[in-house]
């Protein structure tokens, strides 16, 4: 099956804003395999059908909300009266307050964990909203749609602000979800957020198991499936990323940077740095000179 690739310029160039909202009504058994360079947030309004990523099939129902990442080929099939909202956006063209958004319980689950798992394992959407919660989301999407279409003065700012409000609204909804997969991913999110906040401290695997309320075996397994690594290796990656930022500022010695980012041994820090970045800390610090 031929894959149709939708490029950013195909969708956003005419409007001058890296954000668009479309409402679609789908019917029948049409296979329109496609991918895109942008993110696609799908909000299911009514009807039913199946969503395919590769050979992985997921039944779609009203209230389902999920994200498709750039480059992922997908399509709908066997749909009946399926009505959806598509919120399309170019993430790297929008100045998101990423650290603040990532601190919201549920944000990483929807925007980071689930898209990877959906691509790799075909997991079903774990967020399904009903009644007032779902209507609030739909109303927020309509506000964004109205700003983009009416194009009144300041519409770009209003639309982007509306998108951030939508992200917050959806993310917060995960905390009230009774879905078991969702709860499992929320536990992993707690671990990831804790590491990102306390990376410079002496964090142990036992401590992370307590935060996740999981056994060591369960945490290692679920963390590996979701993030492709172990909690401790992830912590080292975070430390190295933070250290790399400091090295380019030239405000501290390499030994001091190592210590401030949780490394008690500067030699071990240098080995980890080269393994993750591809060069030594000293060589990296020269890049900005």
Average pLDDT over residues 113-127: 76
Question: Buried b vs exposed e over 145-174: b needs ≥16 C-beta within 10 Å?
Answer: bebbeeeeeebbebbbebbeebbbbbbebb
> Can you tell me the distance from the alpha carbon of 86 to that of 67, in angstroms, rounded to the nearest whole number?
10
Q: How far is CA 155 from CA 41, 147, 151, 161, 212, in A?
A: 20, 5, 5, 10, 42
Q: Give me the pLDDT at residue 262, please.
A: 95
Q: Give me the pLDDT at residue 126, please.
A: 72
Q: Give me the pLDDT at residue 181, please.
A: 61
Residue-wise pLDDT for 52-78, tens only, equals: 887 788 899 999 999 999 999 999 989
> Can you tell me the distance from the alpha carbon of 120 to that of 218, in angstroms, rounded to the nearest whole number?
19
> Can you tell me the distance from the alpha carbon of 262 to that of 272, in angstroms, rounded to the nearest whole number?
12
pLDDT band at 160 (very low <50, low <70, confident <90, very high): very high
Q: Give me the pLDDT at residue 115, please.
A: 86
Residue-wise pLDDT for 225-239, tens only, equals: 999 999 999 999 999
pLDDT band at 123 (very low <50, low <70, confident <90, very high): low
Q: Give me the pLDDT at residue 10, please.
A: 87
Residue-wise pLDDT for 180-210, tens only, equals: 567 888 999 999 999 999 999 999 999 999 9
Average pLDDT, the chain: 90
Residue-wise pLDDT for 93-114, tens only, equals: 999 898 899 999 999 999 999 8
The region that residue 55 occupies, defined by phi over 0 for left and psi between -120 and 50 for alpha, beta otherwise, is: alpha
Chain length of the chain: 289
Q: Give me the pLDDT at residue 57, please.
A: 86
Q: Give me the pLDDT at residue 289, please.
A: 60
pTM of the model: 0.85
Of the two residues 175 and 227, the one the predictor is more confident about is 227
């Amino acid at each position: 099956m031929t894959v149709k690739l939708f490029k950013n310029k195909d969708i956003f160039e005419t409007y001058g804003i890296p954000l668009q909202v479309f409402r679609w009504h789908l019917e029948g058994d049409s296979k329109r395999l496609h991918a895109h360079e942008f993110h696609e947030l799908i909000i299911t309004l009514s009807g039913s059908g199946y969503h395919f990523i590769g050979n992985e099939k997921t039944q779609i129902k009203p209230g389902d909300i999920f994200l498709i990442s750039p480059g992922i080929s997908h399509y709908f099939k066997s749909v009946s009266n399926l009505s959806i909202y598509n919120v399309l956006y170019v993430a790297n063209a929008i100045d998101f307050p990423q650290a603040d958004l990532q601190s919201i319980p549920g944000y990483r689950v929807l925007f980071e964990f689930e898209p990877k798992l959906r691509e790799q394992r075909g997991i079903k959407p774990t967020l399904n909203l009903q009644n007032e919660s779902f209507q609030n989301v739909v109303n927020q999407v309509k506000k964004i749609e109205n700003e983009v279409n009416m194009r009144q003065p300041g519409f770009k700012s209003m639309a982007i602000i509306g998108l951030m409000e939508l992200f917050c609204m959806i993310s917060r909804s995960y905390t009230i979800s009774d879905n078991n997969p969702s709860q499992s991913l929320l536990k992993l999110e707690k671990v990831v957020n804790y590491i990102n906040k306390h990376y410079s401290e002496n964090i142990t695997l036992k401590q992370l198991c307590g935060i996740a309320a999981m056994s060591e075996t369960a945490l290692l397994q679920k963390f590996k499936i979701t993030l492709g690594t172990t909690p401790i290796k992830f912590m080292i990656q975070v430390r190295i990323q933070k250290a790399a930022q400091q090295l380019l500022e030239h405000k501290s010695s390499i030994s001091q940077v190592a210590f401030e980012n949780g490394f008690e041994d500067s030699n071990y820090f240098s080995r980890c740095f080269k393994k993750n970045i591809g060069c030594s800390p000293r060589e990296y610090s020269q890049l900005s000179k």
